[in-house]
Amino acid sequence: MSPAQIKDLIRTIPDFPTLGVRFRDITTLIAHGEGFQASVAHLAERAARSGADMVAGIEARGFIFGAALAAKLGIGFVPLRKPGKLPMPTIGIDYALEYGEARLELDPGVIAAGQRVLLIDDLLATGGTAVAAAELLRRAGANVEEALFVVNLPHLGGAQALRAVGVAVEALVSFDD
């Protein structure tokens, strides 16, 4: 299945969560067995070139693609969680969103110093969460040079924000509006 066919499986929901926003919903993609499998295969092709030792997925939809990708590559997966979800001492990062503030946390014991970690999430918009995730992983000692996304919304500037902090960006599909 081609990236164009995968794109056709992503549902657009107008005016969600607010008027004027076109929400790109991957629920229809992950519910389509062939489409989900093809998405993971395309991501794995790109990830294999990165030489990553581990995949880090951003809560929550980054877990879906990140865990599947890590399993396909035979490498570990680390979840970047919302606060209070991990039962051990964590490190975290607070960051601004367009509508407030948020926090990501991780168990620093699962990252070895210098370990090459590939960041993944379902969608790249403004890049605020992904930039914070890269910084958090780096604080834990990871080498974060690449990030993969299923969907990129280039007009919102997320790819530029990640590149500005030294993270290369690839996405399977883009929506330009």
Residue positions annotated with a catalytic role:
61, 98
Beta strands in 6-65 (DSSP E): 11-14, 22-25, 54-58
CA distance 175 to 177: 6
Instruction: Say how many Å lie between the first and final Cα of the chain, rounded.
Output: 24
- At how many degrees (to 10) do helices 33-48 and 61-73 cross? 60
What token pair was written down for 83? Answer: 């606060």
User: DSSP class of residue 125?
Assistant: S
